A and B are shown apart, each in its own frame.
Chain A
Amino acid sequence: MMDERELRRSFEQLREADRDHVPGFAQISERARAQRRLRVPTRLRPLVIGAAAAVAILSFFQARGRSFTPAVATPAITTWRAPTDVFLTAPGIELLGSMPTLGASVLDTMIPTPSKRGT
């Protein structure tokens, strides 16, 4: 087992060996200075974070809006026709489109009367 004096000597040797490889103070502090230049000042940090968040939110909504935009232009409501309107066209539909007269037959509208035929 080693005694304390030998232990201390071993550590001294390690320290001496390390001393030969210590990077210069100027080198480390220059790197620190360069890092400082790249760093955003503390008081500007909330602004930078806020701006980044705003950009992220805007681009999210923009992307979302774009995905819901239809490919063709939207027609005006006055000209628009429902695509299922064709199913409403059935034989005799004109009977439902006019007001019936009291005492008359529905056939009168379909069969021309003799007086009308004579004129």
Chain B
Amino acid sequence: MKSVPMPLILEAANAEVRAMDDVELRRQLERVHADCFGWAMACCGRDRDDAEEVLQTVYLTVLDGHARYDGRSSFRTWLFGVIRRTAASRRRTAWLRGLLLERNGERMRPEAPAPTDAKVESDSRSLTLRNALAHLAARQQQVLHLVFYQDLTVDEAAAVMGTSVGSARTHYARGKARLATLLGDARDL
């Protein structure tokens, strides 16, 4: 079938719609930016540099249209899913790179990054919570962060994590009980 050349006026209209989409997308991203950063930090083991890199890649992916919001969930929930997958992919790449570097000898190992987020670390309560969270399984950490930090429901958290609601509920219940015990123990000390 022969393709019919698009009239110039229609092309201009499409470009305008695309531009509007881009502006609207930017507006939406800016609105949830702080939440996204918190979630990116949780996905990157509280490494600030990694979280920024992940967020940067996510924004690029979304703005380039490689990840499209289909309206099946809220924009924030969908974006959290993209962040989780991007962070996981980055973690895998880092792991592979680590293997290669290990094979090529210690000389090529990059220097450990300087500790960041020092002011937050000085906050003893935040530090206690972070230490306690570090003792939980990754899935438990994620579901607790999504529910308590981001105020999502367990169902929404399951959608973000890409697991069934039943599995998310189990992680939530076990994680919450363990975290409460750990924080209680820390307070008693």
> What is the interface of chain A, defined by CB distance below 8 A to chain B?
1-4, 6-8, 10-11, 13-15, 17-23, 25, 28-29, 31-32, 35-36
6 contacting pairs across A/B (C-beta < 8 A): A1-B184, A6-B183, A7-B179, A13-B129, A14-B126, A14-B130
Do residues A10 and B60 form an inter-chain contact, with CB atoms below 8 A?
Answer: no
- For B183, the chain A residues whose CB sits under 8 A away are 2, 6-7, 10
* Residue of A2, A7, A18, A35 touching B38 (CB-CB under 8 A): A18
With known contacts A22-B33, A29-B29, A1–B60 Cβ distance under 8 A: no
Q: Which of B52, B63, B123, B126 counts the most chain A CB atoms within 10 A?
A: B126
User: Given the complex of chains A and B, what is the CA–CA distance between A15 and B39 in angstroms?
Assistant: 10
Do residues A25 and B29 form an inter-chain contact, with CB atoms below 8 A?
Answer: yes
Do residues B126 and A25 form an inter-chain contact, with CB atoms below 8 A?
Answer: no
Q: Is B70 located at the chain interface by the 8 A CB criterion?
A: no
- For A3, the chain B residues whose CB sits under 8 A away are 180
User: Given the complex of chains A and B, what is the CA–CA distance between A50 and B1 in angstroms?
Assistant: 29
* Residue of A2, A8, A18, A23 touching B184 (CB-CB under 8 A): A2
* Residue of A4, A21, A25, A28 touching B176 (CB-CB under 8 A): A4
- For A32, the chain B residues whose CB sits under 8 A away are 56-57, 59-60, 63
User: Given the complex of chains A and B, what is the CA–CA distance between A8 and B145 in angstroms?
Assistant: 10
User: Given the complex of chains A and B, what is the CA–CA distance between A7 and B52 in angstroms?
Assistant: 27
- For B41, the chain A residues whose CB sits under 8 A away are 18
User: Given the complex of chains A and B, what is the CA–CA distance between A3 and B180 in angstroms?
Assistant: 7
- For A2, the chain B residues whose CB sits under 8 A away are 179-180, 183-184, 187
Q: Provide the B75-118 mask, 1 if CB < 8 A to any CB of A, else 0.
A: 00000000000000000000000000000000000000000010
Do residues B176 and A23 form an inter-chain contact, with CB atoms below 8 A?
Answer: no
User: Given the complex of chains A and B, what is the CA–CA distance between A20 and B52 in angstroms?
Assistant: 15
- For A11, the chain B residues whose CB sits under 8 A away are 129, 144-145, 148-149
